[in-house]
């Protein structure tokens, strides 16, 4: 059975949702405490959940990015391991320099909690979906305005690193961006919550498939 | 040795906090052109030589106290 490491920091609060999501894909979830070190090969994939690590002190995700577990995640990223950051997990990956851009306070200064439609712009290792597919899921954040310089945005477009976009830009993100990936496509991050859209009674089950990835040979896992 | 690390959002970046403070001040009748809100961090660094201490403080800033994509910083010895 595939083993998925789920990182936990002080202030992480979507960890149980991710645990459930991984279990629903018939994979074995395991906690990784932020002070813990591990070898990249200890797990088949890694998920960094949402929440408010370190109470969002300094900048959202900035202090978590300096933790021992994140040093190991950097090694795992280099080795091509699939790594997925959601909400605060996305902020942490950006702050750690594993994903391009930064996530800043929403344009209107509000915490926005609502359903959004997302469009898949480019395939990553984490999305065995077709380009153009639409997903419905909730967003819930104050610091989700994706920012990148004009030059940086051009590079994202040229290299196909824009993963997901909002149908209606709710937070002022550059290029309507809701999620990006690294150049290799093994590290991905998104602000909305697939972990809160697992069953139809939750309002949508579009999030469930996000907890799958493709291995290097393109086989779905 | 003590250092002050002053961090401000880059001019081209939307500073929502600065915008809110600016709006509140204007509502109070103050006349101002702009307002930016940043962070002020005081670092006390053990070192014998000030150049060495400055380098250490600089390293801390660049390790993650500021984010070069969205912020600029100034380091000043106190």
Domains in chain B: boundaries: 2-77
Helix and strand totals (H; E) in chain B: 2, 3
Once rounded to an integer, what is the mean pLDDT over residues A101-123? 96
Once rounded to an integer, what is the mean pLDDT over residues B47-59? 93
- Which pTM was predicted? 0.95
- A217 domain-assigned: no
Question: Residue A141 — φ and ψ, nearest 5°?
Answer: -160, 160
Q: What digits encode the pLDDT tens for the residues B15-44?
A: 999 999 999 999 999 999 999 999 999 999
- A9 domain-assigned: yes
Contact at CB, A148 and B65, closer than 8 angstroms: no
- What is the CATH number for A101? 3.40.50.880
Question: Using 50, 70 and 90 to split pLDDT, how confident is the model at A218?
Answer: low
pLDDT of residue A101: 98
Domain count, chain A: 1
Question: Using 50, 70 and 90 to split pLDDT, how confident is the model at A16?
Answer: very high
- A219 domain-assigned: no
Interface check B78 vs A, CB under 8 A: no
Interface check B70 vs A, CB under 8 A: yes
- A146 domain-assigned: yes
Residue A114 domain boundaries: 3-211
- A130 domain-assigned: yes
Beta bridge partners of A28: A3
Question: Using 50, 70 and 90 to split pLDDT, how confident is the model at A190?
Answer: very high
A147 closest CB neighbour out of B13, B17, B64: B13
- A220 domain-assigned: no
- A221 domain-assigned: no
Mean pLDDT rounded to a whole number for chain B: 96
For residues A190 and A163, the answer to whether their CB atoms sit within 8 Å is yes
User: Closest chain A residue to B20 measured between Cα atoms?
Assistant: A109
Farthest-apart Cα atoms in chain B, separation = 50
CATH architecture of B2-77: 2-Layer Sandwich (3.30)
The share of chain A scoring above pLDDT 90, in percent, equals 92
Once rounded to an integer, what is the mean pLDDT over residues A96-103? 98
């Amino acid at each position: 059975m595939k083993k998925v490491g789920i990182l936990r920091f002080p202030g992480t609060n979507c960890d149980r949702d991710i645990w459930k999501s991984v279990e629903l894909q018939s994979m074995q979830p395991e906690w990784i405490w932020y002070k813990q070190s591990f070898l990249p090969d200890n797990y088949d994939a890694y998920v960094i959940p949402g929440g408010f690590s370190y109470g969002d002190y300094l900048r959202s995700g900035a202090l978590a990015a300096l933790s021992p577990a994140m040093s190991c995640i950097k090694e795992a990223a280099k080795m091509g391991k699939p790594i997925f950051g959601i909400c605060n997990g996305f902020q942490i990956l950006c702050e750690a320099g594993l994903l391009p851009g930064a996530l800043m306070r929403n344009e209107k200064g509000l915490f926005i909690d609502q359903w959004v439609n997302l469009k898949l712009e480019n395939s990553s290792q984490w999305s065995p979906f077709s380009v153009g597919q639409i997903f419905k899921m909730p967003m819930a954040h104050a610091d989700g305005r994706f920012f990148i310089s004009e030059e940086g945005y051009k590079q994202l477009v040229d290299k196909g690193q824009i993963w997901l976009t909002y149908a209606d830009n709710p937070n002022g993100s550059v290029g309507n961006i809701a999620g990006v990936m690294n150049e290799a496509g093994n590290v991905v991050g998104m602000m909305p919550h697939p972990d809160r859209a697992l069953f139809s009674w939750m309002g949508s089950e579009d999030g469930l498939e996000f907890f799958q990835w493709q291995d290097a040979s393109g086989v779905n896992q | 040795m003590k250092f002050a690390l002053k961090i401000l959002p880059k001019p081209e970046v939307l500073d929502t906090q600065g915008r809110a403070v600016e709006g509140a001040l204007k509502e109070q009748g103050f006349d101002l052109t702009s307002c930016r809100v940043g962070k002020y961090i005081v670092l006390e660094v053990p070192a014998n030589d000030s150049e060495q201490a400055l380098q250490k403080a600089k390293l801390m800033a660049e390790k993650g106290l500021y984010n070069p994509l969205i912020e600029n910083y100034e380091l000043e010895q106190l």
